[in-house]
Amino acid sequence: MSSNYLEQLAAEWYEYRGYFVRRHLMVGPKAGGGFDGELTLLAVHLEKGEAVQVEPSMDAHSWEKREKRYQSRFELGRRFIPVLLGGKLRSWPLRQIALIGLGSSTNHPTLGGGEVLSLGEFLARILTAFRGADLAAQPVPQQYPILRTLQFVADNHRTLIPALLDEDPRQIRF
């Protein structure tokens, strides 16, 4: 189990969508012991031929400090993920995502060479995917508790939005 909400959310989302997900991959073993670093989350979809490195963070550091940290993490990914995948999988494009809990991608669309995805944007993508799904016919499996909650939120949006807006639900028209 992960120790970070963003990491858990990303792992559930990618696994739910058919990706093989590995967390906390230690890469670059050193001769004297230890490793060059750690990849927080690697998601691989064999049918789509996709590999995604997600580095989540809830920090409130400056963008300059974030840039340095993500540059280091994504460089590790570019160096070691092709080795981890091996064979023909090495030619797959690698998508690198800085999943941030605090901040916005508006003025900072990239960090360390990877795409910035805010928590709000990520949640919106997930909720959009669930909006058209029939909860009774296609429930999210219980092994994904965060996604299951988001599916209930999407299914009950007419009741929840007024509560979030602190308004009388009878006064809002959809």
pLDDT in tens, 98-119: 999 998 888 899 999 999 999 9
pLDDT at 2 over 50: no
pLDDT at 173 over 80: no
Q: What is the pLDDT of residue 1?
A: 45
What φ, ψ does residue 167 adopt, rounded to 5°? Answer: -130, 160
Q: CA 44 → CA 36, 83, 142, 154, distances in Å?
A: 22, 14, 22, 27
Containing 162, the helix (H) or strand (E) segment is helix 157-165
Question: Coil, strand, or helix at residue 33?
Answer: coil
CB 146 within 8 A of CB 7: no
Q: What is the pLDDT of residue 171?
A: 60
| Strand ordering across the sheet containing 50-57 | 20-29, 35-45, 50-57, 94-100, 114-118, 110-111
Q: What is the pLDDT of residue 158?
A: 80
- Domain boundary assignment for the chain: 5-131
- How many whole angstroms separate alpha carbon 19 and alpha carbon 16? 7
Provide the β-strand partners of residue 114. 111
What φ, ψ does residue 36 adopt, rounded to 5°? Answer: -65, -30
Percent of the chain beyond pLDDT 90? 70
Whose CA is closest to 25, among 4, 65, 54, 57?
A: 54
Choose which CATH entry (3.10.129.10, 3.40.1350.10, 3.30.360.10, 1.10.630.10) describes domain 5-131. 3.40.1350.10
59-88 pLDDT per residue, tens: 999 999 999 999 999 999 999 999 888 866
